[in-house]
Amino acid sequence: MSRIKIKNFGPIREGFVGNDGWLDIKKVTVMIGDQGSGKSTVAKLISMFSWLEKNIIRNDLSVEQLNPTIFNNLCVQQELGEYFFEDTVIAYEGEGYSFEYDEKKGSFTGGITNTEKYREYVLPKIQYVSSARNLLTILYNISLQNIIDRNGNIVDLSSNIPFMVKDMNKEYTKALEKLARAGFSLPLNDTSVYYQNYSTFIKAKGKVVSMSAASSGIQSITPLLLVSRYLSDEVQKDVLDKVQNIDNNLKNRIEGEFAKEEGELSERFKQLYSFGKEILTKEEDVTLLKEKLKRFIPSSFVNIVEEPEQNLFPSSQQKVINRLLEYNNALDRNKLIITTHSPYIIGYLTLAVKAMELYKKAKKEKVKAQINEIVPQKSAISHDDLVIYELDEKDGSIHKLDTYKGIPSSKNYLNRELSEKNELYAQLLDIEDLCR
């Protein structure tokens, strides 16, 4: 399990209260809080450190190259460049590597977390799903257009689109090609997404509508679910089957690394790349290559999602969160990290935890079928795999949401906001009596 510590960075000041400031990053990790409390800050830092760890283990970057400038540049890329204070301290302990940035010391260092964890490390595919994902539905059209300004210069219309959206667009294009040619079913009103002749459209109740004319909810969940499903499927594939689809740069890097090994590993890899895994006749070659390639080819999925509830009715939020949990549950080593303003998301996660508890107790298939009507078995989660953090925008602190017998507490920030609304309504009723 990975963990992160953040002190005096952007809206986060005190950081996590307890555990010496360390936030555990579990299989499902959720951040709730008001605007400006730092939810996306935590999510972006987790994404950035996971990416750093991945690239060092894959030898795209060395620990010796780490310095404060590199870290600052990465933060600028993630739109966190203005968040530093004179006493900023950020530390990350990953599955393979650990890092620490200290503003006062002017240092950014890294090293192996521990030898056992390092050996067990499995390369992840990391995807940050920004709340600006609706832009993906128009990004393709923007890329085809050239606009000339008054001076005769070509204006790049996509220049102001956030980096994370552009990055996600690469996977979205692949997902459309792979999953939406024959239609991809969305969990909303019997709606399907199609990608044909370089155009994206939806079919709902027999009517066809272009994606740009679809509802905001459809435009939000289409890239979210397509990319999440596509990447979940990709990392589940046998690593040996994926070798023939890697690019030349990665192929050459793997060959170079394997050439340093004793034996015929490099030659076996060349045969695998050229002819497929059927060429490998020795079981020991298959086992060794799988073990070595897990450091170069992703075999797990870290899905970081901002506001999955965006533009969705409450019952639709449940369907979307169930899909995300299903994709996350496909592999034990996958992770789902969520930021949310929705009390319904927390409620539906509570249902998923309770459902798992009942699935374990249920003996009869009829009972399991009843549970499945509420929470699909593929979407149920263990309470040990879920952690919810509440971020306070007033003092910059982070607290872990309490649980009762493993079930997330209803006494959380989002539910308190609902209670405050009820209290305000009660006050208006009292005032109404004075109006008579």
Q: Is residue 148 predicted with pLDDT exceeding 60?
A: no
- Same domain, yes or no, for 320 and 419? yes
Return the percentage of the chain with pLDDT > 90, whole number.
Answer: 55
The count of other CB atoms within 10 Å of the CB of residue 1 is 12
Higher pLDDT, 83 or 205: 83
Q: What percent of the chain has pLDDT over 70?
A: 89
Question: What's the mean pLDDT in 364-390?
Answer: 94
pLDDT tens across 337-356, in order? 999 998 899 989 999 998 99
Residues 220 and 268 in one domain: no
**Is residue 381 within 8 Å of residue 359, measured between CB atoms?**
no
Pair (99, 169) in one structural domain: no
Query: Looking at the structure, do residues 224 and 193 belong to the same domain, yes or no?
Result: yes
- Residue 137 included in any domain: yes
The reply to whether 29 and 64 lie within a common domain is: yes
CB-based contacts of 390, cutoff 8 Å, min separation 6: 32, 33, 398, 399, 400, 401, 412, 413
Evaluate whether residue 102 is within a structural domain: yes
Mean of pLDDT values over 199-204: 90
pLDDT reading at 423 higher than 80 = no
Among the candidates 256, 272, 293, a domain finishes at: 293
Residues 304 and 388 in one domain: yes
Residue 433 in domain: no
- Is 420 in the same domain as 303? yes
Number of structural domains found in the chain: 3
- Note whether 276 and 327 are same-domain residues: no
Please state the φ and ψ torsions of residue 204, each to the nearest 5 degrees: -145, 125
Any domain includes 432 = no
Listed in sequence order, the residues at least 6 apart from 250 whose beta carbon sits closer than 8 Å to its beta carbon are 296, 297
**435 within some domain:** no
User: Do 390 and 399 meet the contact criterion of CB atoms below 8 Å apart?
Assistant: yes
Q: Are residues 261 and 377 in the same domain?
A: no
Supply the range of the domain harboring residue 165.
Answer: 133-236
Tell me the whole-structure pTM to 2 decimals: 0.88
Question: What are 379-406's pLDDT values in tens digits?
Answer: 999 999 999 999 999 999 999 988 777 7
Does residue 101 carry a pLDDT above 50?
yes
Structure tokens at 289: 């290559």
Query: Is 242 a member of any domain?
Result: no
Q: Supply the mean pLDDT for the chain.
A: 87
Q: How many residues does the chain have?
A: 436
Question: Within its chain, how far is the Cα of 265 from the centroid?
Answer: 34
User: pLDDT at residue 422 above 90?
Assistant: no
Q: Taking the CA atoms of 156, 161, 167 and 170 in sequence, report the sign of the dihedral they define.
A: negative
Residues 12-65 pLDDT 10s: 999 999 899 999 999 999 999 998 999 999 999 999 999 999 999 888 888 899
Q: Kindly tell me the sign of the dihedral angle through the C-alpha atoms of 235, 339, 2, 71.
A: positive
Best CA proximity match to 273, nearest among 296, 240, 244, 253: 244
Which of 260, 293, 326 represents a domain boundary (last residue)?
A: 293
Q: Which of 215, 236, 257 is the last residue of a domain?
A: 236
- Which pLDDT belongs to residue 156? 47
pLDDT tier, 249 (very low <50, low <70, confident <90, very high otherwise) = confident
Assess if residue 241 is contained within a domain: no
Task: Mark whether 60 and 24 lie in a shared domain.
Answer: yes
Asked if the structure places residue 128 within a domain, the reply is: no
Give CA 162 to chain center in angstroms.
17
Instruction: Please report how the helices 216-236 and 136-143 are oriented relative to each other, as an axis angle in degrees rounded to 10.
Output: 90
Residues 213 and 256 in one domain: no
- Residue 205 tokens, joined: 């109740």
**Are 6 and 44 within 8 A, CB to CB?**
no
Contact of 32 with 341, CB cutoff 8 Å: yes
Other C-beta atoms closer than 10 Å to the C-beta of 404 total 9
Is the pLDDT score of 418 beyond 80? Answer: no
Clarify whether residues 118 and 201 are in a common domain: no
CA distance 183 to 193: 5
Crossing angle for the helix pair 39-57 and 68-77, to the nearest 10 degrees = 130
Average pLDDT over residues 280-291: 89
Q: What is the pLDDT of residue 198?
A: 83
Specify the pLDDT at position 176: 94
Query: How much is the average pLDDT of 360-381?
Result: 92
- Would you say residue 229 has pLDDT above 50? yes
Element (H, E) at 201: strand 199-204
Q: What is the arithmetic mean of pLDDT over 424-432?
A: 69
Look at the block and give the residue holding tokens 């989660």: 381
